[in-house]
Chain A
Amino acid sequence: METIKADVAIIGAGGAGLRAAIALAEADPGLKVALVSKVYPMRSHTCAAEGGAAGVIKPDDSLEHHFNDTVGGGDWLSDQDAVDFFIQEAPKELLQLEHWGCPWSREADGSVAVRPFGGMKKQRTWFAADKSGFHILHTLFQTSLKYPSIERLDEFYATELLVHEGRCHGLVAIEMKSGQFRKILAGAVIVAGGGAGRMFPFTTNGAIKTGDGMALAYRAGVALKDMEFVQYHPTGLPNTGILLTEGCRGEGGILLNKNGRRYLQDYGMGPETPAGQPVLKTMELGPRDRLSQAFWHEQKKGNTVKTQWGDCVLLDMRHLGEKKIDERLPLVRDMSRSYLGVDPVEDPVPVRPVVHYMMGGIDTDIRAATSIGGLFAAGECACVSINGANRLGSNSLTELLVFGRRAAMSAMEHLQSAKGAGDASAIDAAAEGAQAKIRELFLRPNGKESIAGLRGEMMQTMEEHAGIYREGTGLAAAAAKLAELRRRYKDIHLHDKTNVYNTDLLQALELGSMLDCAEAVAASALARTESRGAHQRLDHVERDDAKFLKHSMATFRGMDAPAIGYKDVVITRSQPGVRDYSGDHK
């Protein structure tokens, strides 16, 4: 097997991976960085983020406000030391992007503009029209081209981390264009592989978001933390799951049920505010978990609008006018028109909640370090945790930057303190083993199970039992079904046994990642017998701080169900309280 050597290997070239690579290149041009990604960096799903990135910049705002919004928004499951670090670094990172040329939208005086966002008490969401993630990703990618020390390994799919005696020494990856395995040896590895929304059938996530980074670390022995917290974004296009940004509501769009009622006022987020004049942390600017839950209740009451794509509510932006929609929400207009045939200038847009983001992920500390020496993680695949039980919109783009850079700094510290390269023969043997596992799919007789079939069953299970509201019996059924699917996965039929750009193999490996992540979601959700943030149990409707003010920790146990343990939440100055998004609270 061909070997590629680097000082630091990064898996994933989206926002977090690119930010980490640039941080390393800037800190020490002598360090060789291998940036490994299963897609070209421009294809990474950061590009699909629309609304913006949060960071305190305006004089009426304060770090304390951002802290409180984030901690309360996360239903007190965020680690408060991590949140403090995050909010302090946030404005610096967003300014750094500005200095790299990010085309942030501007005020008349040339300063950076901000927009209101759900659950935020002040306007602090920096935006580039409604393509903020796209511009962040491309600014980072283009900036990364300046640095010769960054060696990109585009379209390399990482299959396994090389861990020996508690330390990570690199990874094994398949080069897609040749189908050959490569051993990538590195003094430190940063996993920045993104989320896993594709476990669900209806998601804003692109095809690539299959939890590969999470699964790599999980199988290597790092716990997956808080996996039961899956964010539904309240406003997806009903036929495709395409996201209509929270910016729609930040700019003044309103949500209506079939009777034309601003139904959010019936779920503790009222009183009704004037259409087109959004009030922060109220009504349509409530947090995503609450809005998605309100949809579920409206559906139960029969208040939703029936469409050929299922039950919807209406996102009405007509009162914003064509000029504002074109200036602030051009992508939203384009997507609604082309994919749904509805022009938001003329008509309300039918929308429904859609799986969007994983709050949980690879357990890291505030330094982005995992429990394995030399292994770090950042971005959606990681759980630091700043997002707790419910992420506030526009915190995640900033998180990519803050913790992408932090992971890079920690990796450098590790390089300085690490002792030697590790046992070469043991690492080689691990790499050969990793290759043999996948080669076996090519060599053995055809299996009986279809990749698309198992994937469909997994998605249906997740949709049915691990959605906005859950209960114990359903979650137990989901856990059993996922265990069954993981067993049947051992017998999948690989149709394509050639080497060059084998997407049949790629989809098989991605399915393996998703099944492992899905099992961690179901097991963690089943064990958490309370309701908090995005995890709502119909059989345990109250938050239970005495028992569950804790992070769930799912540990991989091969073919057995994961072991679920708990880890204390770091509370520094905000004790759990009531999440108040009513209009008269402030």
Chain B
Amino acid sequence: MTRKVVLEVMRYNPEQDTEPRFQRYEADCEEEWVVLDALNHVKATQDPTLSYRWSCHMAVCGSCGMMINGEPKLACKTFLRDYDGPIRVEPLQHFPVERDLVTVIDDFMVKFKRVKPYLIPKEEKPVEAGEYRQTPAELKKYKQFTLCINCMLCYAACPEYGLTPKFIGPAAISMAHRWNSDSRDGGRDARQEEVATGEGVWECSFVGACSEVCPEHVDPASALQQVKIKSTVDWVLEKLVPGGKKEGG
């Protein structure tokens, strides 16, 4: 079953436009399509100049984050059947626009790297000695936070990131928390330098918008909250308790 869908897509080409504008497309779409299918259809049949990122079409590569009717969404998992009337498609907010729906994500890439998102082993052990043991319960403690696909919808949703661009933001802090919570890892102190600062968790006002838009249910807000609590415990132990020591080391 096909139906006519109206897309209002933000267009911006820095070589031709002084400011962004909206372009309206009418496309015959299958009822079961997602917004990405509609964009692909438009690009193939009406306007080859329309630019956007996409690849997997199964919500795992994280390429196709866009504002859809004002909400940050993955275009490949946003179904036309959930919309009546025209669908407005814009680039993810809070990021500079490179062209059309393509944003500049350098800021995220830099911040992501700053939190040292890799294993800093608690105990060095050669590969030949076999795996680090990790029980299913230990895995469960951090597993949810490994599911981040770096789609950056949480940055588009985060009011703090919009106001204070130096905030390192939900996905990067969640990733720090993922590694801090891994039973094999001993790198929390190294990450705290980035995370437990004014640009880190203390910037977050705990609105929780990040968790609402996360397509993978990573729940960055809970990661931020847990990092805050642990950072407070550190502070109390260091400043207030004589001879106090940080937990976890």
B130-174, CB under 8 A of A: which get 1 and which 0?
Answer: 111111101100110011011000000000000000000000000
Asked whether any CB of chain B lies closer than 8 Å to the CB of A96, the reply is yes
Is A451 a contact partner of B57 (Cβ separation < 8 A)?
no
Asked whether any CB of chain A lies closer than 8 Å to the CB of B2, the reply is no
- The total of chain A residues at the interface (CB under 8 A) is 58
Asked whether any CB of chain A lies closer than 8 Å to the CB of B182, the reply is yes
Asked whether any CB of chain B lies closer than 8 Å to the CB of A414, the reply is no
> Which residue, B52, B105, B121, B131, has most C-beta atoms of chain A within 10 A?
B131
Is A99 a contact partner of B55 (Cβ separation < 8 A)?
no
Is B77 a contact partner of A338 (Cβ separation < 8 A)?
yes
Is A95 a contact partner of B135 (Cβ separation < 8 A)?
no
Stretch at the interface among A297-305, A470-478, A498-506: A498-506
Asked whether any CB of chain B lies closer than 8 Å to the CB of A436, the reply is no
A33-65, CB under 8 A of B: which get 1 and which 0?
Answer: 000000110111101100000000000000000
Instruction: Name the prevailing secondary structure of the B interface residues.
Output: loop
With a cutoff of 8 Å between Cβ atoms, the chain A residues found around residue B131 in the complex are: 95, 98-99, 104, 111-112
Given A43-B61, A452-B45, A498-B16: A142 and B117 within 8 A (CB)? Answer: yes
With a cutoff of 8 Å between Cβ atoms, the chain A residues found around residue B182 in the complex are: 101
State which of B13, B14, B32, B127 has its C-beta within 8 Å of the C-beta of A95: B127
State which of B16, B48, B56, B139 has its C-beta within 8 Å of the C-beta of A106: B139
Is B14 a contact partner of A500 (Cβ separation < 8 A)?
yes
Is A48 a contact partner of B60 (Cβ separation < 8 A)?
yes
Using A47-B61, A145-B116, A207-B56 as known contacts, list a sample of 9 further A-B pairs with CB atoms less than 8 Å apart, ordered by residue number in A. Answer: A39-B55, A40-B105, A42-B149, A42-B150, A103-B146, A131-B60, A239-B32, A495-B48, A500-B14
Within 8 A of A (CB), among B78-127: 79, 98-100, 102, 104-105, 109, 112-113, 116-119, 121, 125, 127
Output the nearest chain A residue to B50 by Cβ-Cβ distance.
Answer: A503
State which of A110, A146, A451, A503 has its C-beta within 8 Å of the C-beta of B134: A110
A127-154, CB under 8 A of B: which get 1 and which 0?
Answer: 0000100110010001101100000001
B114 to chain A, nearest CB (A): 10
> Which A positions have Cβ atoms within 8 angstroms of B?
39-40, 42-45, 47-48, 92, 95-96, 98-101, 103-112, 131, 134-135, 138, 142-143, 145-146, 154, 177, 206-208, 239-240, 242-243, 331, 335, 338-339, 451-452, 495-496, 498-504, 507
Asked whether any CB of chain A lies closer than 8 Å to the CB of B184, the reply is yes
Q: What would be 6 A-B contacts, judged by CB atoms less than 8 Å apart?
A: A101-B182, A109-B135, A145-B118, A451-B48, A496-B49, A503-B50
With a cutoff of 8 Å between Cβ atoms, the chain A residues found around residue B207 in the complex are: none
Is A145 a contact partner of B113 (Cβ separation < 8 A)?
yes
CA distance A103 to B142 in the complex (A): 9
Is A39 a contact partner of B57 (Cβ separation < 8 A)?
no
Given A138-B146, A207-B57, A452-B44: A99 and B63 within 8 A (CB)? Answer: no
> Which B positions have Cβ atoms within 8 angstroms of A?
13-16, 32, 43-45, 47-58, 60-63, 77, 79, 98-100, 102, 104-105, 109, 112-113, 116-119, 121, 125, 127-128, 130-136, 138-139, 142-143, 146-147, 149-150, 175, 179, 182, 184-185
Is A500 a contact partner of B118 (Cβ separation < 8 A)?
no
Is B139 a contact partner of A103 (Cβ separation < 8 A)?
yes
CA distance A143 to B100 in the complex (A): 32
Given A111-B133, A177-B98: A101 and B184 within 8 A (CB)? Answer: yes
With a cutoff of 8 Å between Cβ atoms, the chain B residues found around residue A331 in the complex are: 60
With a cutoff of 8 Å between Cβ atoms, the chain A residues found around residue B184 in the complex are: 101
Output the nearest chain B residue to A494 by Cβ-Cβ distance.
Answer: B48
CA distance A239 to B47 in the complex (A): 25
With a cutoff of 8 Å between Cβ atoms, the chain A residues found around residue B179 in the complex are: 101
Output the nearest chain B residue to A340 by Cβ-Cβ distance.
Answer: B32
Is A99 a contact partner of B77 (Cβ separation < 8 A)?
no
B207 to chain A, nearest CB (A): 26
Given A101-B185, A145-B117, A501-B51: A206 and B62 within 8 A (CB)? Answer: no
State which of B58, B99, B117, B147 has its C-beta within 8 Å of the C-beta of A335: B58
CA distance A414 to B136 in the complex (A): 44
Is B127 a contact partner of A106 (Cβ separation < 8 A)?
no
Given A42-B150, A101-B118, A134-B60: A496 and B99 within 8 A (CB)? Answer: no
With a cutoff of 8 Å between Cβ atoms, the chain A residues found around residue B112 in the complex are: 145
Given A47-B60, A242-B58: A501 and B49 within 8 A (CB)? Answer: no
State which of A108, A131, A145, A338 has its C-beta within 8 Å of the C-beta of B135: A108
CA distance A189 to B99 in the complex (A): 31
Output the nearest chain A residue to B100 by Cβ-Cβ distance.
Answer: A501
State which of B32, B48, B185 has its C-beta within 8 Å of the C-beta of A504: B48
With a cutoff of 8 Å between Cβ atoms, the chain B residues found around residue A496 in the complex are: 48-49
Is B55 a contact partner of A106 (Cβ separation < 8 A)?
no
With a cutoff of 8 Å between Cβ atoms, the chain B residues found around residue A96 in the complex are: 127
With a cutoff of 8 Å between Cβ atoms, the chain B residues found around residue A103 in the complex are: 139, 142-143, 146
With a cutoff of 8 Å between Cβ atoms, the chain A residues found around residue B138 in the complex are: 110
Output the nearest chain B residue to A95 by Cβ-Cβ distance.
Answer: B127
Output the nearest chain B residue to A49 by Cβ-Cβ distance.
Answer: B60
B126 to chain A, nearest CB (A): 9
CA distance A546 to B124 in the complex (A): 53
Is B63 a contact partner of A43 (Cβ separation < 8 A)?
yes
With a cutoff of 8 Å between Cβ atoms, the chain A residues found around residue B175 in the complex are: 142
> Which residue, A104, A106, A131, has most C-beta atoms of chain B within 10 A?
A106
With a cutoff of 8 Å between Cβ atoms, the chain B residues found around residue A108 in the complex are: 135-136
Is B143 a contact partner of A48 (Cβ separation < 8 A)?
no
Is A110 a contact partner of B130 (Cβ separation < 8 A)?
no
| 9 closest residue pairs by CB, A with B | A110-B133, A101-B119, A206-B55, A452-B44, A495-B48, A206-B56, A496-B49, A501-B99, A504-B48
CA distance A240 to B36 in the complex (A): 12
With a cutoff of 8 Å between Cβ atoms, the chain B residues found around residue A499 in the complex are: 15
> Which residue, A48, A103, A143, has most C-beta atoms of chain B within 10 A?
A103
Output the nearest chain B residue to A100 by Cβ-Cβ distance.
Answer: B119
Is B136 a contact partner of A42 (Cβ separation < 8 A)?
no
CA distance A134 to B58 in the complex (A): 12
CA distance A451 to B48 in the complex (A): 9
With a cutoff of 8 Å between Cβ atoms, the chain B residues found around residue A206 in the complex are: 55-57, 61
With a cutoff of 8 Å between Cβ atoms, the chain B residues found around residue A106 in the complex are: 134-136, 139
